[in-house]
């Protein structure tokens, strides 16, 4: 039985945000932890972001997640940033410190936590495909975790070079940028390859331009894509004998970190992963039903 008439509220704001599984996962986790909290998802246009964050303050929200396209724009509406969020220049999670809203970035931490199930980034040679928000968060955290070298491979040179420079100058990790032209051949000696692009999202057959013959069995190949979790890249990597890591672990672990920041309670990561898988199954069933109706 709840001991208060006022529930604690956190939220997710993005656009488009329909289909984001975090609410489903969080509400299951609140229930499992016997917490009288609510997690709501809001579609917020960029022009309305300032008003929406003000609304969160005025209505006493405990915090929230911010996703595309608000991860950078939300910063100017906050009162402070964590060291990692400051380095990345992006925020995906905010929390209250007294009457202040502080920005944190849990994407990269969630990835490193998930990676730790198969390997540790310390002293590893890491290749990251992509230089967008997810790649920046992962690169900074992998660098802070002591990677020996990080290679950024990106289609848009300016973005890739900027991330490489950030790693060298601010994170003090050896980094370089390689322009992504044709199929990228993964160099001998690479320990961890990470697809941090959006290629594969909602498309199990989408091909990431990597020469799969360059994948070697001692490599760990990770993908940030969580829907579908089994991407073409991971299937190819598994065929080559590599250890693979899907994007579900990152999603669950960044949510676990947010849960702890907001509530002070450690949630059950297993229950959250189960909820996430249940949600993706429901999405799949819904998709099949729509296809049947359309045919």
The two three-digit tokens of residue 279, written as one number: 């949600």
Minimum distance from CB of 157 to ligand NDP (Å)? Answer: 8
Which listed residue (28, 37, 103, 107) binds ligand NDP by CB under 6 A? 107
Helix (H, G, I), strand (E, B) or coil at 79: coil
Which listed residue (24, 184, 226, 262) binds ligand NDP by CB under 6 A? 226
Total site size for ligand NDP, rule CB under 6 A: 24
Alpha-carbon span 125 to 130, nearest angstrom? 16
User: Are 161 and 169 spatial neighbours (Cβ–Cβ below 8 Å)?
Assistant: no
What are the backbone dihedrals phi and psi of residue 86, each rounded to the nearest 5 degrees, phi first? Answer: -60, -45
CA angle (102, 224, 258) in 5-degree steps: 25
List 71, 100, 109, 122, catalytic entry: 71
Decide whether 97 or 117 has the Cβ nearer to ligand NDP: 117
The two three-digit tokens of residue 5, written as one number: 């008439």
How would you label 273-286 residue by residue, b for 16+ Cβ within 10 Å and e otherwise?
bebbeebbeebeee
Q: Which stretch binds ligand NDP (CB under 6 A): 120-128, 150-158, 186-194, 284-292?
A: 150-158
Q: How far is CA 108 from the centre of its chain?
A: 7
User: Are 157 and 125 spatial neighbours (Cβ–Cβ below 8 Å)?
Assistant: no
Encode 163-185 in three state secondary structure: HHHHHHHHCCCEEEEEECCCCEC
Alpha-carbon span 50 to 27, nearest angstrom? 26
Output the residue with the shortest Cβ distance to ligand NDP.
132
Minimum distance from CB of 256 to ligand NDP (Å)? Answer: 11
Decide whether 14 or 295 has the Cβ nearer to ligand NDP: 14
Helix (H, G, I), strand (E, B) or coil at 227: coil
Decide whether 134 or 186 has the Cβ nearer to ligand NDP: 134
Q: Which stretch binds ligand NDP (CB under 6 A): 17-25, 56-64, 126-134, 143-151?
A: 126-134
Cis before residue 69, ω within 30 degrees of 0? yes
Which listed residue (38, 57, 62, 155) binds ligand NDP by CB under 6 A? 155
Active site residue 71: yes
Minimum distance from CB of 3 to ligand NDP (Å)? Answer: 33
Contact status: 154 vs ligand NDP (CB under 6 A): yes
Which string of x and - marks every residue 162-201 that binds ligand NDP (by CB under 6 A)?
Answer: -----------------------------------xxx-x
The structure tokens 């936590």 sit at 113
Residues involved in catalysis: 71
User: Which residues form the interface with ligand NDP (CB under 6 A)?
Assistant: 68, 107, 110, 130-135, 154-156, 159, 197-199, 201, 224-226, 247, 250-251, 254
């Amino acid at each position: 039985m709840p001991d208060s008439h006022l529930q604690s509220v956190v939220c997710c704001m993005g656009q488009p945000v329909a289909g984001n599984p975090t609410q489903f996962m969080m509400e299951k986790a609140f229930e499992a932890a016997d917490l009288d909290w609510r997690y709501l998802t809001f579609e917020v246009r960029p022009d309305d972001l300032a008003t929406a964050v003000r609304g969160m303050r005025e209505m006493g929200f405990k915090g929230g997640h911010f996703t595309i396209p608000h991860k950078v724009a939300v910063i100017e509406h906050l009162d402070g940033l964590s060291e990692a969020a400051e380095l990345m220049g992006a925020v995906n999670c905010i929390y209250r410190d007294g009457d202040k809203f502080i920005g944190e970035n849990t994407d990269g931490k969630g990835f490193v936590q998930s990676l730790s199930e198969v390997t540790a980034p310390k002293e590893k040679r890491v290749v990251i495909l992509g230089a967008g928000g997810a790649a920046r968060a992962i690169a900074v955290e992998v660098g802070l975790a002591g990677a020996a070298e990080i290679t950024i491979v990106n289609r848009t040179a300016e973005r890739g070079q900027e991330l490489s420079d950030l790693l060298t100058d601010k994170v003090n990790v050896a980094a370089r940028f390689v322009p992504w032209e044709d199929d990228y051949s993964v160099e001998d000696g690479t320990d961890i390859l990470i697809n941090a692009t959006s290629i594969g999202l909602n498309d199990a057959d989408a091909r990431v331009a990597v020469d799969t013959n360059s994948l070697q069995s001692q490599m760990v190949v990770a993908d940030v894509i969580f829907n579908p979790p089994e991407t073409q890249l991971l299937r190819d990597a598994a065929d080559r004998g590599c250890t693979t890591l899907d994007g579900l672990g990152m999603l669950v672990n960044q949510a676990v970190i947010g849960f702890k920041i907001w509530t002070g309670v450690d949630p059950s990561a297993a229950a959250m992963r189960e909820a996430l898988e249940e949600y993706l199954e429901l999405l799949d069933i819904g998709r099949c039903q729509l296809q049947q109706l359309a045919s």
